[in-house]
A = this chain, B = another copy of it.
Amino acid sequence: MSQHEVAPTAEHVALATWSRLVEPGDAMAQAAVQAMGPCEALQWLESATAAEIPPQLTERVERWRQRLVTADIRRELAMARHVEAHVVIPSDDEWPAGLDDLGAEAPLALWVRGHVPPLARSIAIVGARAATRYGERAAAELAVGAADHGVVIVSGGAYGIDAAAHRGALSGESADDATVAVLAGGVDRLYPSGNESLLRRIVEVGAVISELPPVSAPTRHRFLARNRLIAAMTSATVVVEASHRSGARSTANHASRLLRPVGAVPGPITSAQSAGCHAMLRDGQAMAVTSAQEMIELIEVVGHTHVQEPISASGPLDGLPEDQARVLDALPLRAAVSVQSIAAAAGMAEREVRGALGLLELAGKVRRSADRWART
């Protein structure tokens, strides 16, 4: 019997129930649970009289009770067991610590198929569903490179960039603990159906997660709310392709609010699918990410200090003192020429040219024949 099959505690059941009553990010539910404890808050919800409910909670309590009527947590836990899902609550080791940074908007519980890997070194790779081949290739290559360095890749399980990122992570040296998909609906349904076999594979080696109980439909509101979980449970978010108004940018915005580093992958300026990434670069919201190494730097380098590369153009003159470089530059490619001729071409005195030629000869870069000099 694995730890996932241990019978849930009363606290697990209570928080699972709460996750059934609320919409994602319900700060009032979070406050009630924090103030009373999950079991006590649930009892209070079931039995409180109108006089016992603070006026500012009246409407919300009505909403929760609306759902409490139809909720059957035993049935939902049974459905979860049926797909081998288990409930993870904040006091569990498996709980992603980063979620706590969401404060009042943190989820009350997670429904998990598989097992959530440690997320201390994790990156969200997200982007457009209608991705280009370029974007999918970039997402996959970034994911595999990061996964090979032990970074867990988290995404939303959607078509396009999300799927490419998951696939990249799974194709690395070890698929174990490589990737996590966070869904906007219940984990009983591996949505979208075209990604079902991919998500099934993620369940085997990583985890498919939702804050909503089985049977919950992935509404648009829930998709947007889901993005905050992806941003919060990872150390950084990288957007691979996004149109100007893509939902992937909402994940990046959550990451920015949580002070997580944000990366954006540049692409052709002629591609509408890269326009959102470029806007993030222009706004200063995101750091340009062009390789797995640069992506890893997002979570390893505080403040993103970089060693600047030497800027000068490369060539045979590199690293030479200026006078030697000018002399070598003044030498024709093949012909041998006199010191006078070199001096005139380089704009240097003959004495200086002779000194530079001697050092270049020692370095094997020029050779003398009679009174003339040539490149080697």
Q: Is the CB of B250 within 8 A of A311?
A: yes
Cross-chain contact B70 with A344 (CB below 8 angstroms) = yes
A311 is contacted by which of B62, B249, B351 (Cβ under 8 Å)? B249
Whether the pair B283, A306 counts as a contact (CB closer than 8 A) is yes
A268 touches B267 (CB 8 A): yes
Say which one of A30-38, A85-93, A146-154, A287-295 lies at the interface with B: A287-295
Q: Which of B224, B245, B265 contacts A269 (CB 8 A)?
A: B265
Stretch at the interface among A175-183, A199-207, A324-332, A363-371: A324-332
Distance, CA A67 to CA B330, complexed state (A):
14
Residue A279 at the B interface, CB < 8 A?
yes
Contact of A278 among B217, B244, B266 (CB under 8 A): B266
Residues of B within 8 A of A62 (CB): 349, 351
Contact among B138, B219, B290, B346 for A330, CB-based, below 8 A: B219
Q: Does A63 contact B (CB under 8 A)?
A: yes
The minimal Cβ–Cβ distance linking A162 to chain B, given in whole angstroms, is 15
Q: Is the CB of A290 within 8 A of B278?
A: yes
Considering the complex, which residues of chain A in the window 113-147 have a beta carbon less than 8 Å from any beta carbon of chain B?
134, 137-138
Which residues 188-226 of A sit at the B interface, judged by CB distance below 8 A?
Answer: 217, 219-221, 224
Q: Which of A4-12, A46-54, A312-320 makes up part of the contact surface?
A: A312-320
A247 touches B313 (CB 8 A): yes
Interchain CB contact under 8 A, B347 and A317: no
* Assembled-state Cα–Cα distance A330/B343 (Å): 83
What's the minimum C-beta distance from A97 to chain B, rounded to whole angstroms? 27
Instruction: Let me know if A347 and B138 touch, CB within 8 A.
Output: no
Say yes or no: A313-B250 contact (C-beta < 8 A), given A137-B270, A266-B278, A294-B282.
yes
Q: How far is the CA of A66 from the CA of B351 in the complex (A)?
A: 11
Q: How far is the CB of A280 from chain B (nearest CB, A)?
A: 9
Q: Tell me the complex Cα distance, A127–B347, Å.
A: 29
Given contacts A250-B311, A281-B281, contact A266 B274 (CB under 8 A): yes
Complex contacts, A282 vs chain B, CB 8 Å: 287-288, 290, 294, 304, 306
Expressed in whole angstroms, the Cα–Cα distance for A221 and B317 within the complex equals 10
Say yes or no for A78: interface residue by CB 8 A criterion: no
Identify 6 residue pairs between A and B in the complex whose beta-carbon atoms are under 8 Å apart, listed by A's number. A23-B347, A63-B347, A63-B349, A224-B313, A266-B266, A281-B288
Which residues of A are at the interface with B, using a C-beta cutoff of 8 A?
21-23, 59, 62-63, 66-67, 70, 134, 137-138, 217, 219-221, 224, 244-247, 249-250, 253, 265-270, 274-275, 278-279, 281-283, 287-291, 294, 304, 306, 308-315, 317, 325-326, 329-330, 343-352
Would you list the 8 A-B pairs with minimal beta carbon distance, nearest first?
A266-B266, A269-B290, A247-B313, A62-B349, A281-B288, A23-B347, A245-B314, A278-B290
